[in-house]
A = this chain, B = another copy of it.
Amino acid sequence: MALPLTPIMYSARAQKMRASEIRELLKLTESEDIISFGGGMPDPTLFPKNEFAEIAKDVVRNEKALQYSPTDGIKPFRETVSRLLRKKGLRITYEDVLITTGSQQALDLISKVYLDPGDVVVSESPTYLSAIGAFKSYEADLIGIEMDEDGMDMDKLRNYLDEKDSRCKFIYTIPTYQNPSGITMSYEKRKELLEIAREYNKPIIEDDPYGELAYEGEMAKPIKSLPNSDLVAYLGTGSKILAPSLRVAWIVGPDELLKKCSMGKQSADLCTSALTQSLAKEFIDRGFLAPHLEKLKRVYREKRDAILEAMEKYFPSTVTWTHPNGGLFIWATLPKGMNTSEMLPRALEKGIAYVPGRAFHPDGSGENTLRINFSFSTLEEIDKGVKRLGELIKEAMA
């Protein structure tokens, strides 16, 4: 029996893959009696189960919903999505919509289509953890631009592009109720960002998973709804407004980009489930979405108010945090010198989970910050969890 001659070699990208320590730690929270502010999960008690049950029994009787389907998505669902987005001011038809298997796939396809090793993506800092993961999986470098209360610092963005323009392939932004910060980019900055993108000819990837979850004030206008926004690819998803397990999301973008993404998708997973696309389509077409959104917003607003109140009550006065008008996250900053990654194991011991801020920083900074999700836990858990977290912070400060 021959012995192995040479080790089996993984690809360069696979050799760089590292399991996230934080993810491994947070995995532990799933099975235990831990109050989790860690994930970005919807409140499972709010899933519209009755509506889905009613729709599902019809949908599975449709042969087309069980068969292979076009890579770009089934036409009726693309039409439904384009109708929804036209209401948000996008001037599009179904042909401008590519359906993806969750927004994560949209990020993967856009990376596949734009990024060579060593290319640069510019994003807010902090930014979405799994977007960093997608960009890095294509061996790109990430440059994070700091934010003010009204979004990305446009002067810093301009400075960066002036100095290092050539390697930047696109600008990634979550302008509304940003993950992880909860910050919303002002209308003025949206216009300015679009101007900068046009000036430097850089595509904008506008990721908008939370835009519908507006707890007060007007709904923010997508950058993609502004005039002359051809350079913008807009990403939306059903995960936060319908259910994550449908794995339906969409890219709206220039024709050439969608064609490339579609070719990439063909070799990535052939097509997104026609069954879950049909469920999402029927849910929207039967008029279930509007009342469901009202309910989501009512409950999440209440949770947001409760968590802000609890933080006021239990956190030491040296801690600051954002006050988001929507979405799922609050961003807290502890005094300089503190380290939320090092605090995490102790937090889990105390039965409370969060995500350390460093994970969201392209440059690995932000060690005194953390992200707190308020959609998943109950009101009682929120009070109890924030109390524990406050105690933990005081302990760590002592």
Chain A interface residues (CB < 8 Å from chain B): 1-2, 4-14, 17-19, 27, 39, 41-42, 44-45, 47, 49, 52-53, 56-57, 59-61, 63-70, 101-102, 104-105, 107-108, 112-116, 119, 130, 133-134, 136-138, 169, 198-203, 228, 239, 243-247, 259-260, 263-264, 266-276
Contacts and interface: CB of A to CB of B under 8 A. Distances in A.
12 contacts: A1-B228, A6-B201, A17-B264, A19-B259, A44-B64, A45-B63, A47-B67, A49-B63, A67-B244, A104-B269, A108-B268, A130-B270
A112 B60 contact: no
A223 to B, nearest CB: 17
Contacts of A68: 39, 41, 239, 244-245
> Closest 4 CB pairs between A and B?
A56-B56, A44-B63, A66-B243, A52-B60
A246 B273 contact: yes
A259 B8 CA distance: 15
A147 to B, nearest CB: 24
Contacts of A275: 243, 245-246, 276
B108 A267 contact: yes
B267 A200 contact: no
Given A49-B63, A246-B275, 4 more contacts: A13-B112, A41-B68, A53-B56, A102-B269
